[in-house]
Chains A and B, each alone.
Chain A
Amino acid sequence: MNGAQNNLIKKGYQWLDDRLHINSLVEYMSSKAVPQHSHSIFYYLGGITLFLFIVQVITGILLLMYYRPGADSAYESVKFIVSEVSFGWLIRAIHSWSANLMVLAAFLHMFTVFFTRAYRKPREMTWYTGMGLLALSMTFGFSGYLLPWNELAFFATRVGTGMAGAMPVIGDYLMVIMRGGEEVTGATIGRFFGLHVAILPLLTTGLLTLHMIFIQRQGMSEPMNWAGKKQEDKKYMKFFPNFIYRDALVWLVALNILALLAVIFPDGIGVVHWPLGIKADPFAAPPAVIRPEWYFMFAFQALKMLPAHIWFLEGELFGIIVFGLGGLIWMLIPLLDRRANENKRSPMIMAFGTFVVLFMVVMTIVGYLVE
């Protein structure tokens, strides 16, 4: 470091420390250690998800400056953003790319946590808040998809909310609440908009804070097979500055990838795309393929493939019940996997996890192939 620069930084630090005692905070952080092993790389996934969320907040706030909800202004304002506002195309492209990557990162994060069984005691609550965050991200995506009020989004939302309507007992009420009426209309945009820019950010920030506090208090989980190891065989890295620097490096790389994707494929690519296209017209014939976003594809496809009736239940209803139960089991894994706390293998749980991953991957691929 350059001497003068160094001096300035030192002085600033001193000034802050005098007032806030951050030294103790730094000491606390440097005393923390991150285990080093062949799967250490998984520890960065949560950070990437956090980074992408921050990108979403910043670009989302920028979009808000011009976006106007409403059946006869939503589409027009998004078109205005991408065609007239300078760099509007870039902000929208980054927001959309980052949205998809954030869901992807959150999923990967969750599966690595699952298979390393990091949810075991004492980190059950971190798992529960994480599940909540994943659900919130998916809801973010679902509600954001409708906001441009274009043809693609309109029909996908109509199908999506329609599926929620098939839920037992509450289905009909839920659908009307979600749509703001019997049909997807301008009223639906109002609701989705409120959800997307107020309710979800608030809930996410809250849950995220809890999630982070838990992690800071508990540190990173150690791999299961370290239980019997001698202390000197275990390798660690300091949380501060080593891990933080590495995290920053990963964020820079993520940002670079995000910028490349957004500039080269501003409308997305392949099955992950969001061309503005034409304005939604509720009376027009639906397009040939109506697709949900890719992370709903497995559920969409599975529900579509069910027969009309299973036992005495409607096929769709049956599917929703099974998905609901599956989700509940997944959510309650820390309670069900008792053997993890005793450092024992749980082949049943791992088999269940493998099945879920395979099911999701296969259904997603089938979903894109059959149409």
Chain B
Amino acid sequence: MSDNNSRRNFLSWLTGLGSLAFLGSIIYPAYKFLVPPESGEANVSQVKLPFTRSEIEGEEKKAKTFKFGRTLGLIVLTGEGELKAMSATCTHLDCTVQHRPDLGIIWCSCHNGRYDLDGKNISGPPPKPLELYIVNEIKGEIFVSKETA
């Protein structure tokens, strides 16, 4: 009888533990879900660049690449001190383009494709312009967004 009793006690103790584990396996994911991830919020059609104008200025090529959704972007500081951003993927065969401050152009080294600073293809194989993005500087932070038609 007492044997039976301790067995029953053990089982009900186990059931209690199981119920707790059950609640845990529901509450834990839900709680983790509610903890905001590092990146804060879904990036939509705008990104805040993780660097400042002076860092671009410090670059030898006066330009930096950045991630924009699934694509790579290029932001350049023109001779006039203007910031321009565009897709960094050459429209010819997908090489990454670079700023050539010496020539005042965007240059693709793969086949000498050239674009002007507005992303327009001006010579060489590229068949299309680079997509140009909109740049906004607010209190020292740089925001890049896609044109919304």
Q: Interface of A with B (CB < 8 Å)?
A: 1-2, 5, 58, 62, 65-66, 68, 72-73, 76-77, 79-81, 84-88, 90-91
Contact = CB atoms under 8 A, between A and B. Distances in A.
A62 B37 CA distance: 14
Contacts of A91: 29, 33
B29 A65 contact: no
B16 interface: yes
Contact of A72 (B29, B34, B37, B44): B44
Given A86-B32, A87-B29, A73 B42 contact: yes
B33 A5 contact: no
B37 A86 contact: yes
* Highest count of chain B CB atoms <10 Å: which of A80, A90, A91: A80
B42 A77 contact: yes
Is the interface on chain B under 10, 10 to 19, 20 to 34, or 35 or more residues? 20 to 34
B32 A84 contact: no
Given A76-B42, A79-B42, A84-B39, 14 more contacts: A2-B12, A2-B13, A2-B16, A62-B34, A65-B34, A68-B44, A72-B45, A72-B146, A72-B148, A80-B39, A80-B41, A80-B42, A87-B29, A90-B33
B1 interface: no
A68 B42 contact: yes
B103 interface: no
Contacts of A81: 42
A77 B69 CA distance: 12
Contact of A73 (B9, B29, B37, B44): B44
Interface string B107-149: 0000000000000000000000000000000000000001010
Contact of B33 (A72, A73, A85): A85
A80 B38 CA distance: 11
Given A73-B44, A90-B29, A85 B37 contact: yes
B37 A5 contact: no
Contacts of B148: 72
B138 to A, nearest CB: 20
10 contacts: A62-B33, A65-B33, A65-B34, A68-B42, A72-B44, A72-B148, A76-B45, A77-B42, A86-B37, A87-B32
* Highest count of chain B CB atoms <10 Å: which of A2, A5, A62, A65: A2
Q: Which 4 A-B pairs have the closest CB atoms?
A: A80-B42, A77-B42, A87-B29, A86-B32
A84 B37 contact: yes
Nearest to B37: A84
A84 B32 CA distance: 12
Interface string B37-56: 11101111100000000000
Given A65-B34, A86-B37, A87-B33, A2 B9 contact: yes
B23 interface: no
Contact of A86 (B13, B35, B39, B41): B35
B29 to A, nearest CB: 4
A58 B34 CA distance: 13
Contacts of A76: 42-45, 69
A86 B33 contact: yes
A148 to B, nearest CB: 12
Contacts of A73: 42, 44
A340 B67 CA distance: 68
A76 B69 CA distance: 9
Given A72-B148, A76-B43, A77-B42, A5 B32 contact: no
A80 B44 CA distance: 10
